[in-house]
Structure 1
Amino acid sequence: MSDLSDHPLLQGLEFGKEIYSIEIHGNGRGEYVGITREDDSPCRIVFRGSLVTENGRKLIRARGSQAWTKQQGEKEGQ
């Protein structure tokens, strides 16, 4: 795979230490769900979206919601 920092969306950005992990899963009908985890943090971002074609290119257009591990959320709510 080529260097992703060459992608036009990433021009002008500087990169630091990798601290996020993401998993994206499809259901075979063009719909996707993914979760991003930050190392050593209870915070998660959950993405839901669809595969779309824009300007002849396929991409996943998704919106993210904040989420927490259930155990952490219960502690904060007490």
Structure 2
Amino acid sequence: TVNSVIAGPTHTGGVEDFVYELVDKELPWDEAQREFMRLHRPQSLLQRLIEPEEIANLVVYLSSAQASATTGAAVRVDGGYVDSILP
């Protein structure tokens, strides 16, 4: 059985560089992230980037015996961010 993890906007070094291209480079990371989310991802329920460990936690669960009945699932770990073609 194959399950898939659909990750949303994740905090990585490359994403951090991208965020600082769009907001004031002088802001501390927490403030820069909040400003980025406010301006560019307002539909996010979490209003922050997902930490890689949060995605890893889901992968560990899906790989465990505890998830043996979960089959053929596409599981989102996206902080409530769903991109849409609708405004």
- State the TM bucket, normalised to the shorter chain: under 0.3
TM-score, normalised by the number of residues in structure 1: 0.25
Question: Higher strand share goes to which structure?
Answer: 1
